[in-house]
Amino acid sequence: GAAAGPSKGGPRWQDLTHNEVQRLQEMYMRKRMLDRKILWMKMEDLPNPQKEAKMTLRRQKREEEARAKAAADDSVAGKMYPPPFLDVHPQSRFLTRIEEEARREELESQFRNRIRLQKLEN
């Protein structure tokens, strides 16, 4: 019957003790504060060489793809002959990944260096 405790559907908000409610509210407020802090840190543009390198690479890649597309549109003859036989195909995933990683690391170090120089100036 009704005296058997809380109704069906498991414990409800009303069934919490005062202390549990307080604790829940504290945890919720803490979570909101942390969420805001994380959001703010993302918005706050601190010098971040990794992110900058990644974005620069993306931009360069887009520009290169546009150039390659333009070149491909210009020269249809380029597609008539098969590429020379190589052990590792020049467009292989492996090579492009290694190349991209190297370029990203290079950019990162350039950005780090720039940040270092700016710090020295200040």
More confident of the two residues 84 and 106: 106
How does pLDDT run across 39-59, given as a tens digit for each residue? 887 777 677 788 888 888 899
More confident of the two residues 4 and 95: 95
CB 51 within 8 A of CB 58: no
- Residue boundaries of the structural domains of the chain: 14-44, 47-76+95-121
How many other β-carbons are positioned within 10 Å of the β-carbon of residue 108? 19
Assess whether pLDDT exceeds 80 at residue 98: yes
More confident of the two residues 12 and 17: 17
Measure the CA–CA gap between 83 and 95, rounded to whole angstroms: 16
Q: Which residues contact 21 (CB under 8 A, 6 or more apart)?
A: 13
The pLDDT of 5-29, averaged and rounded, is 80
pLDDT of amino acid 79: 58
Measure the CA–CA gap between 72 and 96, rounded to whole angstroms: 20
Measure the CA–CA gap between 38 and 44, rounded to whole angstroms: 10
